[in-house]
Amino acid sequence: MDSLSSPASRFRTLSGIPVDAVYGDGPAPGEFPYTRGVHAEMYRTRPWTMRMFAGFGTATDTNARFGELLAAGGTGLSTAFDMPTLMGRDSDHDWALGEVGRAGVAVDTVEDMADLFAGIDLGAVSTSMTINGPAPILLAMYVVVAEEGGVDRERLAGTLQNDILKEYQAQKEYLFPPRPSVRLVTDVIGFTTAEMPRWNPVSISGYHIREAGSTAVQELAFTLANGFAYVEAAVAAGLHVDDFAPRLSFFFNSHSDLFEEVGKFRAARRIWARWMRDRYGATDERSLKLRFHTQTAGVSLTAQQPEVNIARVALQALAGVLGGTQSLHTDSFDEALALPSEDAARIALRTQQVIAHETGVTNVVDPLGGSAYVEWMTDEMERQATEVFDHLEQLGDGSLLEGVYAGIDDGWFVGEIADASYRHEREVNAGERIVVGVNEFTEGDDPSARRLLRIGQETEELQRKRLATVRQGRDAAAVASTLARVAVDAAESTTNLMPALLEAVRARATVGEVVDALEGVFGTYVERAVV
């Protein structure tokens, strides 16, 4: 009975059996190469951040959803922007018709950003912003909103996705050609390294690669290759690897094959640690530790019998936790049909809470470590990913950055992903893979029971009015001169663009105006259409 009163007894099974932090031999969690986790105690000392992605309608609409999520026990914020914002277009642009506020929140100016975070202490929460092409502009807006509200930039904690390479490979939300776009990424890295020590300047994302149809190996390999490419780009821009690498973070998908996913997460940590130490010469332990956010696989959600998605999400979330994620978003069961309704978003958050507080999986670090299958899968993931790195290195004459550029330019990434996607589709179509409710067990679907979130057309009109008001109320000459400076600084490849961007958004320049100024220098990117 002694163990029940010792500190270790805090961690007991449901039946009262005391359990240790870790079982098995070999390098422990928190030790190089971190296969078993980046911290020795993992969730015993710090649970993952339950970071729910939200955004729809106007900034005021999304601000209310943020409030609900924080009140329901969410511990971080994550912002989804609408398609015009993601593509650097204002809500009154022709291209924006029908898309304003539909798949995320509309942000045109710093005033929208202020409304988005109204009533939230930016010095106290951590915020993730899922944006890539115009990422430096949105970061500048966030900094200006914080500073106008009395919070210094060095206190701001959060993550900017800012991962442009995967846009050319998978998500397709690019604005400019790859090389000037990577310069924008390194400008952000340089800026936050110097001035925002609590900020993660890039979230190197496999999520979208997987959603576009890749395999787990492709997700792992392409994502880490992109990570290495950013390291090479930042070093080439004059930064020291240990000054910025500790703040690089990752974002992975958690799909339905549980052990494959766990192997993927474990292999990711091991590969990153080895490459950062051995190839890029990092010596700060924090540079070697791959920290990541996980989101369950939106693409696995079915429109048929959508309630079944709750089970899929729970199992995928469990894989992320067993894989040692630092933060987690669980998808809402209705997402194959519409943006998440409030009820569905709450169930998704509650799913994480069940895993964290009821299942006991948090009591032991890397509980699957030592399983012959999981260890083999981890090795196999690493082996197959290494084949991809070898290919890219060859394409780039020894440089991963150049190899990734080459793979984008010649359509290699999109071709690989499209092949994998079609292979999967054919297997489902042929009944070789069962998708419950879609090609098997199909009875019991009741479309009439669905209560979906609808975004009305009035959002678009409202947002355009808000934008018009900001345009009328600002100093037009100041806007013009700050935009001119953006163009001048953009043309000078060794100048960090962030100061010019901060000045422009502070003067109430719109996202679209800043993008236009940059586009004038950088040009646009049109992909070769590959089926």
Partner 1 sequence: MSGSTDRPPVRVVLAKLGLDGHDRGLKVVARMLRDGGMEVVYLGLRQTTDTIIDAVEQEDADVVGISMLNAGHLTLGPRMVEALADAGLDVPVVIGGIVPDEDLPAMANAGVAGVLGPGATAEEVVACVRAAADARG
What is the contact surface with partner 1 in residues (CB under 8 A)? 83-84, 86-87, 89, 95-99, 102-103, 167, 171-173, 211-213, 299, 302-304, 336-338, 418, 421-422, 425-426, 429, 435, 438, 447, 450, 452, 455, 457, 526-527, 529, 531
At position 237, the amino acid (one-letter code) is A
Nearer to partner 1 (CB atom), residue 211 or residue 261: 211
* Sequence-distant (≥ 6) Cβ neighbours of residue 78 within 8 angstroms: 51, 52, 53, 54, 127, 128, 129, 130, 329
Cβ 117 to partner 1 shortest distance, Å: 24
**Nearer CB in complex with partner 1: 26/98:** 98
Minimum distance, C-beta of residue 455 to partner 1, in the bound complex (Å): 7
CB of 262 to partner 1, least distance (A): 25
CB proximity list for 212: less than 8 A, separation 6 or greater: 169, 170, 171, 417, 421
Q: How far is the CB of 214 from partner 1 (least distance, A)?
A: 10
Minimum CB distance to partner 1 smaller for 42 or for 170: 170
Nearer CB in complex with partner 1: 133/323: 133
Pick from 297, 360, 285, 282: nearest CA to 329: 297
Q: Are 253 and 213 in contact (CB under 8 A)?
A: no
Contact yes or no for 261/316 (Cβ under 8 A) = yes
Q: Which is nearer to partner 1, 165 or 234 (CB)?
A: 165
DSSP 436: B
User: 106 or 377, CB closer to partner 1?
Assistant: 106
Q: Please, what is the minimum distance in Å from the beta carbon of residue 242 to partner 1?
A: 35
> Which CB sits closer to partner 1, 467 or 507?
467
Give the number of C-alpha atoms closer than 13 A to the C-alpha of residue 277, restricted to the C-beta side: 16
Q: Decide if 293 contacts 329 (C-beta within 8 A).
A: yes
Q: How far is the CB of 84 from partner 1 (least distance, A)?
A: 6
C-alpha 94/C-alpha 87 separation (Å) is 13
Closest distance of CB 168 from partner 1, Å? 10
Half-sphere exposure of 186 (CA within 13 A, CB side): 25
SS3 of residue 126 by DSSP = strand
